[in-house]
Amino acid sequence: MITRYRQAHSRQRGLVLVSSLLLLLVVTIMAIAIFRSYGVEEKIAGNQREKARALHAAESAQQYAEWWLSSGTGVTTPISCTALVTSTTGQVCSNILPTVAVNGNAANIPWQVAGAPVGVTYKPPTMTLNTAGGVNTYYATPYFYVSYLGTTADSTTSNFKLLYQVDAVGFGGSANAVAVVESTYYVTTGVCNLGAIGGCQ
């Protein structure tokens, strides 16, 4: 009698294949999540850049307005502002900004009187607007609004301080990147000798 021995073959059930597919799925999900977060971080960085550019544009207009006031040009009789003018002419407004801003809030732009924008435009020499094209362009020219707030006595001298509220708007690369800044600025009237003993006389 011939005896035959059969080896018991272990049946492969595809465990290696299933675990490989699961591992591939996990790695794919992780890669997609990394790429997606990279895109979000890139958008956040771009938005922060545009916010900073808008703020710098607004601050440049505000500083120009303060310089214009301190140069003596702005110490004039305030007028009722009804139009948007260029920085070469300038204007000091008797109607304070909360009366011309939407809902009395300077952050709501454009500032308008009877449906027309008001303020003074100021374009820094190195600024390029979107109309010229390019990457580092700005959406619109910054502008400022100077409100005359009245006078107050200087407690250390016999001079008076003329008080002004200076508001300025700047834009980044789009209409959605906007910054509004505000300051209270005063100009002293009279003569002051800073070299004299005791300061202003």
* pLDDT value of residue 199: 45
57 touches 170 (CB < 8 A): yes
CA–CA gap between residue 34 and residue 37 (Å, rounded)? 5
104-112 long-range contacts, CB within 8 A, separation 24+: 106/167, 106/180, 106/182, 107/180, 109/169, 109/178, 109/180, 110/169, 111/145, 111/167
Q: Please give the mean pLDDT across all residues of the chain.
A: 81
pLDDT band of 198, cuts 50, 70, 90: very low
109-115 long-range contacts, CB within 8 A, separation 24+: 109/169, 109/178, 109/180, 110/169, 111/145, 111/167, 113/81, 113/82, 113/83, 114/82
* pLDDT value of residue 63: 93
Is the full-model pTM beyond 0.75?
no
User: Burial level of 62, CB count in 10 A (0-12/13-18/19+)?
Assistant: buried
* pLDDT value of residue 115: 84
* pLDDT value of residue 102: 73
Higher pLDDT, 88 or 146: 146
pLDDT band of 130, cuts 50, 70, 90: confident
User: What's the average model confidence in pLDDT over 147-166?
Assistant: 78
Higher pLDDT, 6 or 71: 71
User: What's the average model confidence in pLDDT over 27-31?
Assistant: 89
CA–CA gap between residue 178 and residue 172 (Å, rounded)? 6
Higher pLDDT, 144 or 1: 144
* pLDDT value of residue 168: 94
Domain boundaries, the chain: 20-188
- Which of 10-14, 108-112, 137-141 has maximum average pLDDT? 137-141
Question: What is the percent of the chain where pLDDT is above 70?
Answer: 81
* Nearest CA among 159, 163, 155, 183 for reference residue 61: 183
Inform me whether the pLDDT recorded for 180 exceeds 90: yes
Task: Tell me the chain's radius of gyration from C-alpha atoms.
Answer: 33
